[in-house]
Structure 1
Amino acid sequence: MAVKGDGKVSAVGLNKDGQCNVGWWTDIRQVAVGSWHTVGLKKDGTVVATGNNDAGQCDVEDWKNVKQIVAEGDTTVALMEDGTVAATRYNMSGESWESTREWRDIESIAMSLTGGVIIGAKKDGTIEMIGQADDPRMEARDWKDIDKVYGGFSNVAGIKRNGIPEAAGYNSFGECNVIGWTDISSLSVGGYWTIGVKEDGTVVRTRDEERDRHNIDLSNWDHVVYAVQTDNIVIGLQENGTLLIAGEQNDDIDNDAIWLAQDWKDICGWTL
């Protein structure tokens, strides 16, 4: 799913629930994708959505003055311009996210799918979180001086104001091993690794021996402003609006569809 420079959205992949029916969207500045739904943030701060709505994850038409959107599973969360947070009411397990409405002075939000963790970075650099108390991701509550937060399958990460990243979670594949990284401008947190885009446009990532067999070589990437990932593919958005793709190409429908996007141009945002 890509946002183009003219505010339109291009989509490839499975469309079982209409989650790729975005051809009519205009003036979009950000997109977020859940399991079977897609959400778009318009330049005027309103939100549109398409796809499965069994849990109310597409009930966003009343949201106004939205600054950022995130979607995971069957939940959609929005950060408002005034630093408050709104969330669709339930995920499929019936757990309510209503307590996020009590959050204030939030600057960045993210979700971590497994177990339903929502994290927000406040203006003062401290963290708000929702999740189970014994979840290792909840260690992020003690972080300080955080500028932006990110969520993955079973981990969360943040970038401090000095460009140094933090990570917390299950770390089953070393995806939290970001000690020593510096000058990081953005992160992508996945199920097997964490990817960091540096201020100079180069890319670093954590190592996983099993996944390293899938041709994930990012050492020659440059001029990258943002990266996203699936289980075996990494996509980098370059500052000229073109895409870099690394990983394994196979017959999986979603995998094959991603490779079809490698010739897209004038891209200003991308999500998977």
Structure 2
Amino acid sequence: MFMKNKAKVLFLILAVCLLSGCGMVKEKKEATEAEHKEAVIKEAISCIEEKKYPQAIGMLSQIKDDKKAEDLLRQLRYLISGTYLANLDDGVAAIDNSGKVRIKTDHTYRKDNTYKESLGWDNMKSLSFAQGRLDGLDQTGRIYSTKDTDPAYIYVAEKLKSYTEIEGISTDFDNYVLLSKTGKIEAFSEKYGEALEYFKEEISTWTDVVKVVTGQLRIAALKQDGTVYIADYNKYYGADGTVDDEVNDWTDIVDIADVFGGPIVGLKSDGTVVCTKEEIKGPDGNLVKNPHAFHVSGWNDIIAISQSGYSLLGLKRDGSVVATGGNAHKQLDVSGWHDIVAIAAGDWISIGLKSDGTVVIAGDCGKLNPEDVFGRKDLYVPTVKY
């Protein structure tokens, strides 16, 4: 009996030791994971200090369930997006330090565009130029438009009464594509009366989206994991020239740019740039040169990208800018730019925001003074706080 009781005691002691050991292993694992997160965040902050924003985004994107990493990612993505600056083709729109939108245009070429130079919009976050219309998103998720009497805007404004978590906006013609804070997309169009019918089902399945861009015929979305979704009108009608297969192989993407169904451009976490093919199939099935082709194979150390229908700008870490595409209006003549922190490409002009809150312009800017568009150094220049 004594031996039997002794055996029970030894078994209990062994069980307690094993359970304690499991607890210690679990605690050690959790401590190791926490230390790893802290080390990655520290390295990412070092990259931020060196203006290596894509690299920092790449690092932070690997961290799950960490509020500090999520906050840094949110700030970085906004900083490189440049959505606080907009190219109106014949002018500039920018958010100033008070949260208002300031506009300066010249109507030499496009007299149909009329904007007030000071809009009554407050607490603004992002701007989106939509071919003759400027749309905006404020910090609370409210949508604004310079053509707020248009049926498209009225329809969207009515639908948005039930939305309170809008994080991003991309607009084009009568299309409004909105990104929620939960990583889901809602697309609205006056023409179709609902979410774009040929995209509706597909985009409803997309999750973890951190950026969305739209042209009239396509929606492109960047995922948290660095891959890209495409919903292409051409795909639904069996047309040639879709880019789904190309972007399916993309990884480590930290930003995307796309306009009018032309090439999709991606900024990678190593500071290089990728672009969809330079050749497309013509009506006869033969390959022809893509009129919207961009040449980016030699680009490196890029921290932001911006695309128009015919031109692409890349902002380098040293504050200079590279450009490719059509240059009919000398909008690519940006080689002399320096100290640039944000860019906005256009078919007529290119715009650069400098670190002192002023802008520079290249191209046919008409009567605009490219050296002093607004006259004051008070445009909003975001910084990352950590």
Q: Normalising by structure 1, what TM-score?
A: 0.82
Alignment match, 2:15: none
Select 2:229's aligned residue among 104, 114, 128. 128
2:268 aligned with 1:160: yes
2:315 aligned with 1:197: yes
Structure number with greater Rg is 2
Measured after TM superposition, the shift of residue 17 of structure 1 is 8.2
Q: Is the 8 A contact 1:50 1:58 kept in 2?
A: no
Q: Is the 8 A contact 2:329 2:349 kept in 1?
A: no
Q: Is the 8 A contact 2:345 2:351 kept in 1?
A: yes
2:134 aligned with 1:38: yes
Q: Which amino acid aligns with 1:4?
A: D
Alignment match, 2:363: 247
Select 1:178's aligned residue among 296, 300, 323. 296
Q: Which amino acid aligns with 2:126?
A: Q
Identify if the C-alpha distance between structure 1 residues 17 and 207 changes in structure 2 by more than 3 Å, giving closer, same or farther.
closer
Secondary structure, counterpart of 1:205 in structure 2: strand
Q: Which amino acid aligns with 2:94?
A: A
Alignment match, 1:59: 156
Cα shift readout 1:144-198 (whole Å, capped 9, x = no counterpart) = 2211111124222111122211112666356421112112111111222211001
Q: Is the 8 A contact 2:311 2:332 kept in 1?
A: no
Report which of the two has the higher share of helix. 2
Identity of aligned residues (%): 25
Identify if the C-alpha distance between structure 1 residues 174 and 118 changes in structure 2 by more than 3 Å, giving closer, same or farther.
closer
Unaligned runs of 5+ in 2: 1-92, 280-289, 382-386
Alignment match, 1:253: none
Alignment match, 1:2: 94
Unaligned runs of 5+ in 1: 251-255
Secondary structure, counterpart of 2:128 in structure 1: strand
Q: Is the 8 A contact 2:136 2:145 kept in 1?
A: yes
2:102 aligned with 1:102: no
Identify if the C-alpha distance between structure 1 residues 17 and 195 changes in structure 2 by more than 3 Å, giving closer, same or farther.
closer
When structure 1 is superposed on structure 2, of 223-232 and 103-112 the one drifting more is 223-232
Q: Is the 8 A contact 1:245 1:262 kept in 2?
A: no
Q: Is the 8 A contact 2:211 2:223 kept in 1?
A: yes
Identify if the C-alpha distance between structure 1 residues 183 and 58 changes in structure 2 by more than 3 Å, giving closer, same or farther.
farther
Cα shift readout 1:189-214 (whole Å, capped 9, x = no counterpart) = 12222110012211111254xx2673
Q: Is the 8 A contact 1:137 1:170 kept in 2?
A: no
Q: Is the 8 A contact 1:2 1:267 kept in 2?
A: yes
Secondary structure, counterpart of 2:214 in structure 1: strand
2:202 aligned with 1:68: no
Select 1:223's aligned residue among 329, 333, 339. 339
Cα shift readout 1:30-50 (whole Å, capped 9, x = no counterpart) = 111212433211122333334
Select 1:140's aligned residue among 237, 247, 253. 247
Cα shift readout 1:67-116 (whole Å, capped 9, x = no counterpart) = 22111121111111111111214557995342323321001111234xx1
Identify if the C-alpha distance between structure 1 residues 188 and 111 changes in structure 2 by more than 3 Å, giving closer, same or farther.
same
Cα shift readout 1:204-230 (whole Å, capped 9, x = no counterpart) = 11254xx26737421121111221122
Q: How many residues align?
A: 260
2:143 aligned with 1:47: yes
Q: Is the 8 A contact 1:158 1:165 kept in 2?
A: yes
Measured after TM superposition, the shift of residue 122 of structure 1 is 0.6
